[in-house]
Structure 1
Amino acid sequence: MASASSTSGAGMARSDSSRSGRHHHHHHLPQPPPAPHASTAFGDWVNEVDTTAPILADRIYGDDGSDSGDELPQSASSARDAGGDADAPMNEHLRWSKSLPWWRRPHDYWLRPFAFLLAMCGGMVMSPKIDLYTQLACEDILHIDGSFGSTELRQRPPLSPLCLESPQVIAEATSLQLKLTLAMGILSALTTGLWGGLSDRKGRTTVLRLGVAGLTLNDLIVLAVGLVPAASLAPFGGPKGLLIVGSAIEGLLGGFATLTAGHQAYIADVTPNGTRARIFAFFTGIVFAGLAVGPALGGVLAKKTGLMSPFYFCLGAHVLYLIVTMFILPESVSPERLEDAKKQHRRDVEEHTYTLRSTLLVPLKPLAMLLPKQVSAPEPLSPDDDGEGEAAASHISVSRKPKTWQSLDANLFILSLAYFVEASCMGVLTPKISYARYVLGWDVAELAYFLSFASITRVVCLTVIIPLLVRWAQRPGEATNALALPQDGSKDDTERSPLLSLDSQGRPTTYSDTQEQGEPGREARIEKLWTLRARHLRQIHDSKFDKRLALLSISWDALMYLILTVTHGMGPVPFVAATGLTSLGGAAPAAMSSLALALLPSEHDAGKLFGAWSVVNAISTSIVGPIAFVEVFNHTDDGAPQTIFAMCMALFIVSAVIISLVKVRKPSSLPALPPRPAPPSADGRTGRREDEDEGPEASSRSKIRLRPTVPWREGERSVNADDS
């Protein structure tokens, strides 16, 4: 089941065309990621699984960049001046794959059908897993095994009505579910950070293979438990013991958390810098489309051909996915980045002193990158600086640094803490299903319809309603309407140089021959800095929007769980309606994943980030959340079963408060830039000239038509260029 969820966070995406326009990005959809939320081991109650991330649009300034790595990118205004695409940014991490043939070029199109297939497979086994776990509990407690007592391989008989009526059987089935969740979750938390680092050195496809291999092995074990008599499984600890072994294997190979991290890192590799939330949400929509179809299809298949038939289908789907990751799926990390990561790892190994304590803490090592870090004084940028300094960086961190240098920047830590609290709410899914089954009196078929309904609402919200609302509310053009900032305008890097009066696009309001002349290539370097300024402003704008979106989505979730709490005892209608409406809050993990990427000091740390968040995800969704909510439900199910909803509401409120503490930097914190070069005139020269003498005997005496500094000084615009 983790298979379905794994793809959800997935978001395996890539932008492929060599001259992609904005229309290409509407095909994209981070996992997120995020952000990735794990499902439970018991058929994974994915009706509310926020499988990431990270929902919005790849609202980054522009698209895929230019064809050639040598081509100078243009800012919005300069592109318009040249008659080009005003949205063409520079994305260095995408250029290495432009020259590859289409079958070797990483792109999200490769994985879209498999995301749907794996999600559908996960939905298909939901109800069969319920029956299988209940049968195992029934065999232990009521000793009802029907005709399944021989040593032959055969399909299990239908579930006895006595099993469904026994509270002891239901309690035992729930206990088995929690054991499977913990077996997979704990081991996943201990290993997924290692796989996250491995993905930076060996590539994303390597980690995806490991995760899918774990799902495949677990499928084989589930089939063995379903087909082999219990007596024959005694050497392996019986059916339930063998299921725990299968979950442990899946956890050791990373499980859902590692697959989610791999998918989200793949998205970060193949999409432009900036917010990637929409591409995460697009794949989340694909996943929930599969989950909407899966339960009904699995129920029909199990009814017509036997309980274990859906598991055969899942095994085939996982094997197919494994083959694709081994032989077909292009690697998303460039060879240069892989080699750099390997060299860095070797240096880390040489400098590391191994002790028992450090060895035990290796699984938690990825979390170190989330800790608050000291902030040092920034180095001033020279106008002649080409390629160094923040102003010349393709990616900047949008984290608002403390005013005092050497203080701690805790924004990424705060956001990760908010993500942990929000993701812990996934633990409510298991007792919520128990609430529906035993408080509302639903049977397995009604639960299947409920899961399909919840998945359909997710699909509609993630693919239609939320993107439309985001497009209406975001207004990305506002970020680059004015590129010039108050600190801009110094003609050189000395503090004594006065600031020039600049227009909104960074060009001086007057030009002269002395301003137009300079060393070769200097104007191109300055224009490049202004191009990147537009990108940086867009990053800051998008990050602020991501923060607001996360706050709004989590607040909406809290409101829906408040409704679930106060409508207890009013029947299934409020329960179904409130559950469906929680889909409108599905943007939260996506927005948090997108914001986390923007907070990173380097875009190359995306794999480490999602490796660390996968550890956080595994701990919160597979250990802390399930234990807390199941224990609360077990202690309150007799008198106040709605307590789990109130608890979930409280956690959402806490998460929203924590997110509000994240500080996004202001545009005024960006480095100052020198004046922007004058735009080319129609005849290819710089400046605006009138009444120039023509012909070979033209006089050097010419008049330069200058832009007036202020409108009421129109009469002073005409001056002699040369009085000699």
Structure 2
Amino acid sequence: MRAQVARASSSNSRAGQYNTVAARGGIDADLLHEADEDQPLLNNKKDGSGGDDEDEPPVDEFAGLPWYKRPSIYWVLVPFSILAISYGGIITPRVNLIINLLCREYLDEQKTAIPGFIAAPVVFDGANPQCQVAEVEKRSAQFTLYGNLIAGLLSAITAPKLGALSDRYGRCKMIAITSLGSLSGDVITIMAASNPETFSVNWILLGFALDGICGSFTTAFAIVHAYATDCTTPAFRSVAFAMFHGCLFTGIAAGPILAGLITRSTGTPLTVFYIMLGVHIFFLLFMGFIAPESLSKGRQQIARDKHESLNSARQTSNDWIDQLRSINLVAPLKVMWPTGPGSTPELRRNLILLAAVDTLMFGVAMGSMTVILIYVRFQFNWQTYESGVFMSIVNTARVLSLFVILPTITRLVRGKPNPHAMSRKHHGSDYFDLMVIRTAVFFDTVGYLGYTLARQGSVMIFSGVVASLGGMGSPTLQSALTKHVPPEKTGQLLGALGLLHALARVVAPTIFQTIFIATVESFRQTVFVCLTATFGLAFIFAWFVKPNGELGDAKID
């Protein structure tokens, strides 16, 4: 009996150490377990850890290197913050640039078709009242729909590939590649804006395509999370993720108003695009040549060897048609339907409903982003500065809800976190999780109902602030989902969520922008009615999730 206890303690202790090594970018944990089978069953070391990997000191193979070669989240945090500000600042100028280019194209067509037609020239930094017509609004929505569709479809294909390549060839290289597509898009946009008479606005669609091929900003954000995962232990990983989310929303909040101020001071929106181009060049060079790689050469080689052995075992065909046939996009979703001992209908229902609510909320956010900017341009005659102020106010409220309101409520309800009281058995989401989720979806529903009814700019801004409080739902939803699967399946679950988000990024904008295009001349608020109804459906789903859905040893393929 004592021998069995000693073997269990030794095995658990080594497992905790191996998991920490893998989390820090060290040797692959699976291979270490395989190698361990040939060693004596009894450990000669006196180890009383009991296998709690959180109490094991991390084994960091980068510890002996100088500081400028040791990976840390701070190497990525600073350049990512600058990129996030630029990303937030470019959204409104790009939409307004597209509207102005399409308006100029429309007016040229009218001059050709109607003899004697006279219209004021389009000024890129002016109000352009001649563009406040339904046809230009419709063309703008169609153009952004095509662009988002192209970028979304291509990124849905390339994002999983880039994520897998980052396991085998390093995070920094793949992050730099994602920035390359955005950089190319900036060059094309600048050329189109500088020479509108000779450069067709349709070339901007090529910029969307290049951005999608390289994975776009969302893929960069995902691989940045992988970099943070390599640099942190599981106990502190959520803190690192929160820092990156904070930088993203702060950038989206501060970027638009900075872009508006730059446009006002320089008299041209082109300055913003040149700044964005410079930021992308800096980010690409920094991640490609300066930031330390978080994955060691040894772990990269092990990942490449395992990938090659798996391909050999599957006898992968070199024929591209056979490779297309073997692709199964829905396979990752199996993690949301566990079977076998330990699984229950309640567990599967909770997983499906939580994933559905998360996907609906993400889809509405993606589907409404461009529509809102086009809508306020024509409904309230807001230009780059006014739209930037609107986005900054809304996203500032979202940042406050994420990093002030939610943490404060959590502290009041759950008390001070105890890092030593960590349970390995997950018991599903609790009542507090469900309360936060339902409240967040309710705020989103009320906010979008306010968009529908708003006839004044101040009401539109207030509705945006109310909707921004729903930002508390996304991290709580993902946290609740991870409580329904074993810890070793967390990555697989988040990967399945990534697939759903990629599909929502394509489907949601297509549906909602099509509705906007079809109803803009009759009742342009129709799209907000549909968005409100979608949030209402998510709100109903949230009430069918049951708390404390205990998880046993369910089988997950």
Residue 586 of structure 1 aligns to a residue whose secondary structure is helix
Counterpart amino acid of 1:591? T
Q: 1:591 aligns with which of 463, 472, 476?
A: 476
- State the Cα deviation string for residues 670-701 of structure 1 (Å, max 9, x = none): 99xxxxxxxxxxxxxxxxxxxxxxxxxxxxxx
Cα distance change, pair 477–183 in 1 and its aligned pair in 2 (3 A): closer
Shift of 1:243: 1.0
Partner of 2:363: 424
From 419, 424, 435, the counterpart of 1:536? 424
1:533-585 deviation digits (Å, cap 9, x = unpaired)? x4425x658877555533432233223334444x444x333321121122222
How far residue 71 of structure 1 moved from its aligned partner, in angstroms, is: 7.8
Alignment RMSD, CA only? 3.9
| 2:105 pairs with 1:105 | no
Which of 494, 500, 503 is matched with 1:619 structurally? Answer: 503
Question: Which has the higher relative contact order, 1 or 2, with Cα contacts under 8 A spaced 6 or more apart?
Answer: 1
Instruction: Confirm whether residue 321 of structure 1 aligns to residue 283 of structure 2.
Output: yes
Alpha-carbon spacing, 1:612–1:180, altered in 2? closer, same or farther (3 Å): same
Aligned residues with identical type, % of pairs: 25
Q: Please, which of 208, 228, 242 is the counterpart of residue 247 of structure 1?
A: 208
Distance change in 2, residues 1:629/1:469 (3 Å): same
* Corresponding position of 1:648: 531
Distance 1:333 1:361 in 2: 32
C-alpha spacing 1:343/1:437, structure 2 compared with 1 (3 Å): same
* SS across alignment from 2:234: coil
CA distance in 2, matches of 1:574, 1:413: 36
Q: Deviations over 1:420-459 (max 9, x none)?
A: 2221102022222333233334344322221121122223
- The structural deviation recorded for 1:303 is 3.4
Change (3 A) 1:338 1:593: farther
CA distance in 2, matches of 1:98, 1:546: 38
Distance in 2, Cα, partners of 1:449 & 1:266: 33
Q: Distance in 2 between matches of 1:548 and 1:357?
A: 49
Contact 1:74–1:89, Cα closer than 8 Å, also in 2: no
Task: Give the Cα–Cα distance (whole angstroms) in 2 for the partners of residues 342 and 317 of structure 1.
Answer: 32
Q: Does the residue aligned with 2:424 lie in a helix, a strand or coil?
A: helix
Q: Secondary structure at the match of 2:202?
A: helix
Matches within 5 A, 1:131-280: 131-143=96-108, 158-159=125-126, 161=128, 163-231=130-198, 233=199, 239-273=200-234, 277=238, 279-280=240-241
**1:472 maps to which of 405, 412, 425:** 412
Distance in 2, matches of 1:453 and 1:199, equals 36
Contact 1:114/1:321, CA 8 A, preserved across alignment: yes
- Distance between the aligned counterparts of 1:316 and 1:363, measured in 2? 38
Q: Secondary structure at the match of 1:536?
A: coil
Q: TM-score, normalised by structure 2?
A: 0.76
In the aligned structure 2, how far is the partner of 1:647 from the partner of 1:452?
Answer: 25
| Displacement of 1:70 | 10
Q: Aligned in 2, Cα 1:255/1:105: closer, same or farther, shift over 3 Å?
A: same
Question: Deviation at 1:643?
Answer: 3.2
1:554 paired with 2:437, answer: no
Q: Is residue 284–residue 462 contact of structure 1 (8 Å, CA) maintained in 2?
A: no
Q: Distance in 2 between matches of 1:160 and 1:143?
A: 18
Q: What secondary structure is seen at the aligned counterpart in 2 of 1:172?
A: helix
Q: Which letter maps to 2:458?
A: V
Q: How big is each residue's C-alpha offset from its partner over 1:133-179, in whole Å with a ceiling of 9 and x where there is no partner? A: 1232123211299xxxxxxxxx9865573543333223222222212
Q: Could you list the per-position Cα deviations for residues 604-661 of structure 1 after superposition, in whole angstroms to 9, with x for gaps in the alignment?
A: 863x55554333222212x211111112223334454433333223323433454566
- How far off is 1:221 after superposition? 1.4
Residue 170 and residue 541 in structure 1: after superposition, are their counterparts in 2 closer, same or farther (change >3 A)? closer
- How many Å separate the matches in 2 of 1:220 and 1:625? 28
Distance in 2, matches of 1:70 and 1:357, equals 57
Equivalent residue number for residue 579 of structure 1: 464
- What is the DSSP-based 3-state SS (H/G/I as helix, E as strand, rest coil) of the residue aligned with 2:201? helix
Instruction: Report the counterpart of residue 16 of structure 1 in structure 2.
Output: none
**Residue 261 of structure 1 contacts residue 610 of structure 1 at CA under 8 Å; is this kept in 2?**
no
Quick check: 1:289–1:456 contact (8 Å CA) kept in 2? yes
Q: Name the counterpart of 2:323.
A: 359
TM-superposed deviation, 1:299:
2.5
Counterparts in 2 of 1:247 and 1:424: CA distance versus 1, 3 Å: same
Cα drift, residue 317 of structure 1: 0.7
Deviation sequence 1:355-406 (CA, Å, 0-9, x none): 76663366654752545555455xxxxxxxxxxxxxxxxxxxxxxx4259xx
Amino acid of the structure 2 residue aligned with 1:302: T
Helix, strand or coil for the counterpart of 1:332?
coil
* More helix by percentage: 2
Shift of the 454–199 alpha-carbon distance from structure 1 to 2, 3 Å rule, reads: same
Amino acid at match of 1:207: M
Distance, in Å, in 2 between the alignment partners of 1:289 and 1:435 is 24
Q: How far apart are the structure 2 equivalents of 1:357 and 1:200? A: 26
Q: Aligned partners of 1:91 and 1:613: how far apart in 2?
A: 31
Preserved CA contact (<8 Å) 1:207 1:258:
no
Equivalent residue, structure 2, for 1:117:
82
Aligned residue among 390, 393, 399 for 1:459: 399
| Kept in 2: contact 1:106–1:331 (CA 8 A) | yes
TM-score (norm 1): 0.60
Report the Cα distance in structure 2 between the residues aligned to 1:466 and 1:156, rounded to whole angstroms: 44
Contact 1:282 1:463 in 2 (8 A): no
Contact 1:562 1:646 in 2 (8 A): yes
Residue identity matched to 1:615:
L
Give unmatched runs, 5+ long, in structure 1: 1-68, 77-87, 146-154, 234-238, 378-400, 482-533, 672-724
Shift of 1:291: 2.8
The letter for the 2-side match of 1:184 is: A
Partner of 1:711: none
CA contact (8 A) 1:269 1:333 kept: yes
Structure 2 regions of 5+ residues with no counterpart? 1-44, 111-121
Q: CA deviation at 1:477?
A: 5.5
| Contact 1:94–1:272 (Cα < 8 Å) also in 2 | no
1:300 counterpart residue number: 261
State the partner residue of 2:13. Answer: none
CA contact (8 A) 2:343 2:551 kept: no
Question: How many angstroms does 1:254 deviate by?
Answer: 0.9
Deviation of residue 316 (structure 1)?
Answer: 1.0
Separation (CA, whole Å) in 2 of partners of 1:668 and 1:183: 40
Structure of higher CA gyration radius: 1
Aligned equivalents of 1:94 and 1:598: distance in 2?
Answer: 27
Q: 1:301 to 1:568 in 2, by over 3 A?
A: closer
Figure out how many residues of one structure are paired with residues of the other and give that number: 495
Match of 1:402 among 333, 343, 348: 343
Q: Distance between the aligned counterparts of 1:649 and 1:91, measured in 2?
A: 49
Question: Contact 2:151/2:212 (CA < 8 Å) preserved in 1?
Answer: yes
1:309 aligns with 2:197: no
Number of the residue aligned with 1:89? 54
Report the Cα distance in structure 2 between the residues aligned to 1:544 and 1:96, rounded to whole angstroms. 41
Pairing partner for 1:633 from 482, 499, 516 = 516
Verify the 8 A CA contact 1:193 1:365 in the aligned structure 2: no
